[in-house]
Chains A and B, each alone.
Chain A
Amino acid sequence: MRFAKRIGVASAILTLSLGTQAMAEVSCGMNTGQAATGAPILVGGIYGNAAPGDWSSSTDSAAAYFACVNANGGINGRPVDYRVENDQWNPEAAAQAAARLVNDTPTVAMVGNGSFIEMAVNANTYEAAGIMVMASACAISECFETPNIVSTNQGPLSSNLGAAQYAVEELGTRHVACIGLNIPNNGIWSCQAVQDFMRARGGEATAVLINPGAPDVNSALLEAMASGADTILINQPAGIALAILSAAEEQDLRDQFNWIAPTPLYDQSVPAAVGAYWWGHIYVNAELAPLEVNGPDAQNWIAVLDQYGRADDPRDSFGQAGYLSARFFTEAMLAMDPAQLDDRAAVGAAIRGITGYTSDLMCGPYYVGDADFHMPNHAGYMVKVVEGGFEIVRECYEYDSPYFEPHIALETQLGLR
C-alpha cells in the first residue's frame, strides 16, 4: 500500500501545517514545545524488512516518538539523531548494519530494534562494544538471554505460554499442537517451552514444525490434526498464520479445535484478512495493552504517530513496543547527568539502572537490571478476533512457568515485588 503511503504522507504534512491545534495533546520528553537545537545525540536502530516479514513498525514508532521529543526540548535541549538500518533478513546485512551503527558511529544506545536474525548475529558485537540495546520486536532467544539486549516485547516464548495458559484455564485444553517455524532459536525454542508448560499442567503438547522455505502449510496443519491435539497454537508470523487459517477454513476444521496464537496475530488488518468465518473463534495473546484499553499512554502513542509518524505506520503491538522503548530511553536519558549524554558506557549504565518505569501499555513494571538475561514483560492480555477488531477476554495476567523463576528473583531483588 505504498500508493496510500505517499498520499498519506502528503496529507499528514498538510494537516500538520494547517491544524495542529485540532489534534490531541502529545506528551514527549521535556514537553517544552520548543524544538531542540543542541548537538545531536546519536541513537541507532535495526529492523528487518524483507520477505517473509516486515518488522519495521517498532522503529517507525520509535522514530515518531523521537521526532516528538526533538520538537519538545529534546534531551536537555539536544535532539536525538535516530538512525535506522534494514537488516533485510540477511545475516551479512545485519552484521553490516551493526558495524555501521555501532562501530562506525558513536551511537550511545540502540533503541526499537525489531528483527528475526539481527540479534543472533550481533549479540556478541553489542557486548564487545559495550552498547545497550532496548529492542522492541524481538522474536528469537538471543533477545532475552544475552546481557546487552533488553526487549519491551515478550517474544514468542512468553506469548505462547500466555496463550497456552489461557487455553488450559478457560478453554479446557489438554493437548496443544504448537505449529512453529523450524528455526532453533525461534520456533523450536518457543514450542519447547509450551511442551514443558503443558507437562507441568498434566497435559501434553506436540511441536509441529514448518520449514520457512516451504510454501505449503497444509501438510503441517494435517500433521497437527493427526497428533490428536484439541488446541492448535499458531506460533507464526502473521502471513503464514493466515495461510494456516485459510487452509483450516477450507477443510472446515474451525469447530474441531481451539485456535490460539501469540502476539503476531494481534494486528488490526488480521480480522478483515481472516474473514467472517473466524470471527469469535481465534484467541490471541497480546503482549501489550490492546488498543481497546486506550489508557493515557496508548492515546499518547496514537497521537504521536498521527502528528510525527507516517499515516500508514502500523498501529500494532510492535509499534507500541517501539514507542515504549523510546519513551523509557528518553526518561532514562533525562534522569542522567547531562555532561555524560555522549558517553556510551554511562548511557549503558543508566539503562541498566532503569527500574520500576510504568505505562498503561504494560501490565507490569519495566526494568533492566544488571543480569545476563532480560525479560521485563511477562504478563499480558488475551483477546478474541471479532468483526472489525478484537475483544478483550482476559485482563492483565502473569504467566505461570518455571522459565520465569530467575526473572522473578531479579524483580524481588530490585524491590519490584
Chain B
Amino acid sequence: MRQLFHVTPSGWAGLGTAAFGILILPSLSNSYWLSVFTSMGCFLLAIAGVAFMYARLGMVSLTQVGLMGVGGWIALRLNHAFDFPFEVNLALAATATMIFGWILALPALRMRGLYLALVTLMAAGGLEIIFATFQFPNGGAGFWGVQTGSGAAFRRPWIAQSAQAYLRYVIACALLGFLCIELHRRLQPGRAWALIRRSEAAAMAAGVNVTLYKTWAFGIAGLLGGAAGALLAGSLGLLDDGTFRASESVMIFALAVVGGAHSWQGALVAAALYKVLPAVLNIWGVDANLSFVIFGAGLLHAVITAPQGIAGQLLDGLRRLSPKREARDA
C-alpha cells in the first residue's frame, strides 16, 4: 500500500507543475493565453492517452484526435438534449468514448506495429468524414442535433464559469488523467502491460490475458481522449470538424514521440509544441504558412536528434548538472 502511494521525485515535480498551473498560471494570463492554455490542457490529456499506449505497450494509435471528436460530440449531444450538469456530461462522454475505444480495439488487436497504426489511421479517416458530414450538435432537433443560425449555449461546470476558473478545471482534469495512468501502472494492469511489452508469448505463458489488457489500454486512451474532447467543447462552446482531421491525429502521435512518450514531461512538451508554439509564432507575426514550415522542421529535427524525446533530453541535461544524482542513479 505504501508503494502504491509513494511519490517519486518526478511525481513531486508533476504535482508542483500542476499546482503552478492551477494556482498561478491563470492569474498571469490574459484572455488570449487563457484560451491557448485551455486548449493546451485539453490536448495534454489526449496526448497523455496516446503516449501511454505507446510507452507501455508499444501500440501506436493514430486516431486519438478522432476519439476526442467522439467525446466532444457526445458531450455536446448530451448538453443540448438534457439538463445534466457538465460533470455528468463529461463522465458520460468519457465512458462512452472508452467503450468506443474498446469496440475499435477488438478487431484491431489482432494486428501489431504498423498494421495496427494503419487500421487506426483508417478509423481516423472515417471519423473525419463522419464529423464533416454530420457536424457537431449545436442545439438543433433530431439525433444529429444540428441547426443553422447561432447555436445554443454550452453549460460549463458551475465552479468554472469564468475563463480563469475553466483553465484551472482543465488542468485539474489533466492531473486526474495522469494520476489514473500512474495508478494503473502500479497495479495489476501495469505489470501485465510490462510483460506484454516485453513479449506477448511470455505474457501468455505466464497466464496474462493479453486481449483483455490490450483492450483495456485502448479503453484508457479512449477515456482520456473522450474527456479531452468534452473539455474542449466546454472551452469553445461548440466544435468544428476542422479540429478533428486524421492528419491531426497523426500529428498528435508524432508530437508525443517528439516530446517523449515515457514521462509526463514529454506529454507536456508535446502539448506545448502543438498549441503554444503556433500561438507564439502568431504573436511574433510569423505567417501562418511559415509557422507550418517551422513546425514541420522542428518535428523532423526532434525525431532525428532526440531518441528519448525532448523531455528525455532535458532530463538528461538536468542529471548531468547534478553529479550526486547521477551517482545515486548508477
* Distance from A45 Cβ to chain B, minimum over Cβ atoms (Å): 15
Q: Whose C-beta in chain A lies nearest to the C-beta of B30?
A: A104
Within 8 A of A (CB), among B231-277: 232, 235-243, 245, 275
Kindly identify which residue among B135, B150, B236 contacts A183, using a CB–CB cutoff of 8 Å. Answer: B135
Q: Whose C-beta in chain B lies nearest to the C-beta of A101?
A: B32
Q: Whose C-beta in chain A lies nearest to the C-beta of B239?
A: A91
Asked if B148 and A184 sit within 8 Å, CB to CB, the answer is: yes
Asked if A213 and B153 sit within 8 Å, CB to CB, the answer is: no
Given contacts A89-B242, A90-B242, A92-B243, contact A99 B35 (CB under 8 A): yes
Asked if A182 and B133 sit within 8 Å, CB to CB, the answer is: yes
Query: Please, how many angstroms separate the alpha-carbon atoms of A88 and B147 in the complex?
Result: 24
A-B contact pairs, 11 of them (CB 8 A): A96-B36, A99-B34, A103-B30, A120-B150, A141-B150, A142-B149, A184-B148, A185-B149, A213-B128, A213-B129, A213-B245
Asked if B150 and A123 sit within 8 Å, CB to CB, the answer is: yes
Asked if A91 and B243 sit within 8 Å, CB to CB, the answer is: yes
Which residues of the partner chain A approach B135 to less than 8 Å between Cβ atoms?
183-184
Binary contact readout B279-298 vs A (1 if CB under 8 angstroms, 0 otherwise): 10010000010000000000
Asked if A104 and B32 sit within 8 Å, CB to CB, the answer is: yes
Which residues of the partner chain B approach A11 to less than 8 Å between Cβ atoms?
none
Query: Please, how many angstroms separate the alpha-carbon atoms of A189 and B135 in the complex?
Result: 14
Q: Whose C-beta in chain B lies nearest to the C-beta of A373?
A: B149
Query: Please, how many angstroms separate the alpha-carbon atoms of A211 and B288 in the complex?
Result: 25
Q: Determine if B31 is an interface residue (Cβ-Cβ < 8 Å).
A: yes
Q: Determine if B85 is an interface residue (Cβ-Cβ < 8 Å).
A: no
* Distance from B277 Cβ to chain A, minimum over Cβ atoms (Å): 13
Asked if A121 and B238 sit within 8 Å, CB to CB, the answer is: yes
Which residues of the partner chain B approach A142 to less than 8 Å between Cβ atoms?
149-150
Asked if A120 and B32 sit within 8 Å, CB to CB, the answer is: no
Tally the A-B contacts, defined by beta carbons under 8 Å.
93
Asked if B242 and A117 sit within 8 Å, CB to CB, the answer is: yes
Asked if A145 and B240 sit within 8 Å, CB to CB, the answer is: no
* Distance from A406 Cβ to chain B, minimum over Cβ atoms (Å): 14
Taking residues whose C-beta sits less than 8 angstroms from the other chain, chain A's interface range is 35 or more
Kindly identify which residue among B149, B245, B282 contacts A141, using a CB–CB cutoff of 8 Å. Answer: B149
Q: Whose C-beta in chain B lies nearest to the C-beta of A140?
A: B148
Asked if A91 and B240 sit within 8 Å, CB to CB, the answer is: yes
* Distance from A391 Cβ to chain B, minimum over Cβ atoms (Å): 34
Given contacts A96-B35, A183-B135, A211-B129, contact A189 B148 (CB under 8 A): yes
Q: Determine if A340 is an interface residue (Cβ-Cβ < 8 Å).
A: no
* Distance from A98 Cβ to chain B, minimum over Cβ atoms (Å): 9
Asked if B35 and A211 sit within 8 Å, CB to CB, the answer is: no
* Distance from A408 Cβ to chain B, minimum over Cβ atoms (Å): 20
Q: Determine if A349 is an interface residue (Cβ-Cβ < 8 Å).
A: no
Q: Determine if B16 is an interface residue (Cβ-Cβ < 8 Å).
A: no
Chain A residues proximal to chain B, CB less than 8 Å: 49-50, 85-86, 88-93, 95-96, 99-100, 102-104, 117, 120-121, 123-124, 141-142, 145-146, 182-185, 188-189, 192, 211-214
* Distance from A128 Cβ to chain B, minimum over Cβ atoms (Å): 11
Give 5 new A-B contacts, CB below 8 A, not counting A182-B133, A185-B148.
Answer: A92-B39, A95-B235, A142-B150, A145-B149, A213-B132
Which residues of the partner chain B approach A124 to less than 8 Å between Cβ atoms?
150, 153, 237
Asked if A184 and B147 sit within 8 Å, CB to CB, the answer is: yes
Asked if B30 and A91 sit within 8 Å, CB to CB, the answer is: no
Query: Please, how many angstroms separate the alpha-carbon atoms of A213 and B133 in the complex?
Result: 9
Within 8 A of A (CB), among B125-147: 128-129, 132-133, 135, 138, 140, 146-147
Asked if A182 and B149 sit within 8 Å, CB to CB, the answer is: no
Query: Please, how many angstroms separate the alpha-carbon atoms of A274 and B31 in the complex?
Result: 45
Q: Determine if B151 is an interface residue (Cβ-Cβ < 8 Å).
A: yes
Query: Please, how many angstroms separate the alpha-carbon atoms of A183 and B135 in the complex?
Result: 8
Which residues of the partner chain B approach A103 to less than 8 Å between Cβ atoms?
30-32
Main secondary structure of the interface of B (DSSP, over half): helix
Asked if B35 and A95 sit within 8 Å, CB to CB, the answer is: yes
Asked if A99 and B32 sit within 8 Å, CB to CB, the answer is: yes
Asked if A96 and B279 sit within 8 Å, CB to CB, the answer is: yes
Which residues of the partner chain B approach A89 to less than 8 Å between Cβ atoms?
242
Asked if B128 and A91 sit within 8 Å, CB to CB, the answer is: no
* Distance from B154 Cβ to chain A, minimum over Cβ atoms (Å): 10
Asked if A182 and B132 sit within 8 Å, CB to CB, the answer is: yes
Query: Please, how many angstroms separate the alpha-carbon atoms of A142 and B147 in the complex?
Result: 11
Asked if B243 and A104 sit within 8 Å, CB to CB, the answer is: no
Query: Please, how many angstroms separate the alpha-carbon atoms of A142 and B151 in the complex?
Result: 9
Which residues of the partner chain B approach A182 to less than 8 Å between Cβ atoms?
132-133
Asked if A212 and B132 sit within 8 Å, CB to CB, the answer is: yes
* Distance from A242 Cβ to chain B, minimum over Cβ atoms (Å): 21
* Distance from B128 Cβ to chain A, minimum over Cβ atoms (Å): 6
Given contacts A95-B236, A213-B132, contact A188 B148 (CB under 8 A): yes
Query: Please, how many angstroms separate the alpha-carbon atoms of A107 and B236 in the complex?
Result: 22
Query: Please, how many angstroms separate the alpha-carbon atoms of A39 and B318 in the complex?
Result: 49
Query: Please, how many angstroms separate the alpha-carbon atoms of A34 and B120 in the complex?
Result: 63
Which residues of the partner chain B approach A211 to less than 8 Å between Cβ atoms?
129, 132-133
Asked if B35 and A92 sit within 8 Å, CB to CB, the answer is: yes
Asked if B242 and A99 sit within 8 Å, CB to CB, the answer is: no
Within 8 A of A (CB), among B171-210: none
Binary contact readout B210-248 vs A (1 if CB under 8 angstroms, 0 otherwise): 000000000000000000000010011111111101000
Kindly identify which residue among B128, B133, B151 contacts A120, using a CB–CB cutoff of 8 Å. Answer: B151
Query: Please, how many angstroms separate the alpha-carbon atoms of A4 and B124 in the complex?
Result: 39
* Distance from A292 Cβ to chain B, minimum over Cβ atoms (Å): 34
Kindly identify which residue among B32, B151, B153 contacts A96, using a CB–CB cutoff of 8 Å. Answer: B32
Query: Please, how many angstroms separate the alpha-carbon atoms of A104 and B34 in the complex?
Result: 11
Query: Please, how many angstroms separate the alpha-carbon atoms of A1 and B239 in the complex?
Result: 33
Which residues of the partner chain B approach A183 to less than 8 Å between Cβ atoms?
135
Q: Whose C-beta in chain B lies nearest to the C-beta of A157?
A: B148
Query: Please, how many angstroms separate the alpha-carbon atoms of A212 and B131 in the complex?
Result: 11
Which residues of the partner chain B approach A146 to less than 8 Å between Cβ atoms?
150
Asked if A92 and B128 sit within 8 Å, CB to CB, the answer is: no
Q: Which of A92, A95, A145, A146 has the most CB of B within 10 A?
A: A92
Asked if B31 and A49 sit within 8 Å, CB to CB, the answer is: no
Kindly identify which residue among B239, B241, B279, B288 contacts A86, using a CB–CB cutoff of 8 Å. Answer: B288
Asked if B149 and A100 sit within 8 Å, CB to CB, the answer is: no
Q: Which of A95, A117, A121 has the most CB of B within 10 A?
A: A95
Which residues of the partner chain A approach B240 to less than 8 Å between Cβ atoms?
90-91, 117, 120-121
Q: Which of A50, A85, A89, A184 has the most CB of B within 10 A?
A: A184
Asked if B288 and A50 sit within 8 Å, CB to CB, the answer is: yes
Query: Please, how many angstroms separate the alpha-carbon atoms of A89 and B242 in the complex?
Result: 8
Asked if B31 and A120 sit within 8 Å, CB to CB, the answer is: no
